[in-house]
Amino acid sequence: MNQTNRPDRSDRRDESNQDPASTRTPVKSYRLLWISLAVLGFSLVALRTAAAQGEGASPEAARDLWTTLGIWCAAFMTLGIFSFLYKDNPFYKVCESILIGVSAAYWMVNGFWSTLVPNLFGKLAPGFVQSVAMPDLPTPDSPTLEMSLAFVPLILGFMLLWRLAPKGGWIAVWPVAFIIGTTAGMRLVASIEADLMSQAAATMKPLVMFSDSVDEAGNAVRAFDFWATMGSIVGVVGVLSVLTYFFFSVEHKGVVGKTARLGIWFLMITFGSAFGLTVMGRVTLLSQRFEFLFQDWLGIR
């Protein structure tokens, strides 16, 4: 009986882990709202307290206080995100929502201050921007010309936003066409030079390789380099077989089929190594989080 039932339970358990999005614990929206507000309120009170204490304290002490607060927030967020590995929960949802909200807000503010203010407003009204927002903004060499040119992106920007208007959505197509055209034009030349010509040239090298060295007597010695030769051969065979796999004008039978099959092996090995490198990257991220928790948060060294 138990033997029969066990797989069913494991199946259910597996299903619950297979697709977390489809089986998330239902958390009522108002409860989530209260939790978010509580976290936000706690953070604000903590920040206010830290600021108040910081005003009367020495700069080093104030910095330590802020650092401590930051470390506790980061530890809270890290554990919150990790908690999803056990199962979906409100703690995780709060951390996830804060992460998404902060990221979106950050990119919006960054776009405004690093692009719009210096590159658009700073050229349309440099004196105003320098006095109000960015004192370090360089003064334009030829203000009239730069202001005139800045009207082009300003108008294109307005045209792009016209998509939100109830009528005349086609107006937004023109700046999109401009963006696509300039990007394609800029990238085309770079890709042909760096990715096509240079890569083709790098493939066209001798199959048999020699290495040059100097012996003890100071004479130049040229010797057969086995591994470099193997590398050249594997490179050429790999390129030709993978190109054959992607050549669909001829049916993949006989010699062509076998070459294409070899090409699949090269592709699989490439994907495997890429996956391995990705795993290495993810393990590094996890180890850095653990280092943070153990060393910066708990002080274990």
Partner 1 sequence: MTTPQRGSSNPGLLERLGSLDRRWIFLSMGLSIALPILLQLRFPEVPGPMARATFDAIEAVPEGSRVLISFDYDPASAAELQPMANAMVHHCASKGHRIVFMALWPLGKQMADQTIDQVLLNFHPDLEYGTDYVQLGYQAGNEGVVKLMATNIPEQYKTDTSGTKLADLPLVGDLRNTSDFKLVASLSAGNPGAKEWVQYADSADKEAFTLVSGSTGVQVSQLLPYYPAQLEGMLVAVKGAAEYEMLVEEKYPVSKDAERIGQGRVRMGPQLVAHMLMIGLIVLGNLAMISGRARGGAQ
Binding site for partner 1 (CB under 8 A): 3-4, 6-7, 10-11, 13-14, 17, 85-86, 110-111, 114-115, 118-119, 135-136, 138, 186-187, 190-191, 193-195, 198-199, 201-202, 270, 273-274, 277-281, 283-288, 290-291, 294, 300
Say if residue 293 is exposed, middle or buried (CB neighbours under 10 Å; 0-12, 13-18, 19+). middle
Nearest distance in Å: CB 127, partner 1: 16
Task: Identify which of 153, 117, 162 has the alpha carbon closest to the alpha carbon of residue 136.
Answer: 117
Of residues 202 and 220, the one with the C-beta less far from partner 1 = 202
- What is the residue whose two structure tokens read 């039932």? 5
- Packed helices 59-82 and 90-111: angle between N→C axes, nearest 10 degrees: 120
Is there a contact between 210 and 224 (Cβ–Cβ < 8 Å)?
yes
* Cβ at position 276, least distance to partner 1 in Å: 8
Nearest approach, Cβ of residue 29 and partner 1 (Å): 27
Query: Least distance from C-beta 4 to partner 1, angstroms?
Result: 7
* Cβ-contact 202, 236 below 8 angstroms: no
Cβ closest to partner 1, residue 29 vs residue 139:
139
Choose between 164 and 214: whose C-beta lies nearer to partner 1.
Answer: 214
Q: At 45, phi and psi to the nearest 5?
A: -60, -45
- Give the residue with the Cβ less far from partner 1, 13 or 63: 13
Angle at 224 between CA 219 and CA 226, to 5 degrees: 140
* Cβ proximity to partner 1, 49 vs 182, nearer residue: 182
